[in-house]
Amino acid sequence: MSYIKVQCDECEKEHQINQKEFDFEQVDSDERQMGAEITYEGDLEFTCDCGQHITVIHRFWEYPENFENYKETEVSGASVVENKL
């Protein structure tokens, strides 16, 4: 299963977020030699028990279609412990 584990910067509590909790949307597409390169982005915002606001943004690129060739994750308010997205 794909997930990310982050640790709150304030209280050090760990939060695990499963990939299915993200609502991925196609945000960009580019025509290239082997077809379209599509960018997907999903973001998730939540508040830790201590009140800290945590944001996780995950993007991935598919090229050729259905083949994930690159991905990146941005986290604010927490640090990444494990990233299996």
Which residues pair with residue 49 across a beta bridge? none
User: Considering only 13-21, 28-36, 38-46, 61-69, which stretch makes contact with Zn ion by CB under 5 A?
Assistant: 13-21
Judged by CB, which is closer to Zn ion: 14, or 68?
14
Site string for Zn ion, 14-53 (x = CB under 5 A): ----------------------------------x-x-x-
CA-to-CA dists, residue 34 to 26, 28, 44, 59, 67, angstroms: 18, 16, 32, 21, 12
Binding of Zn ion by 9 (CB under 5 A): no
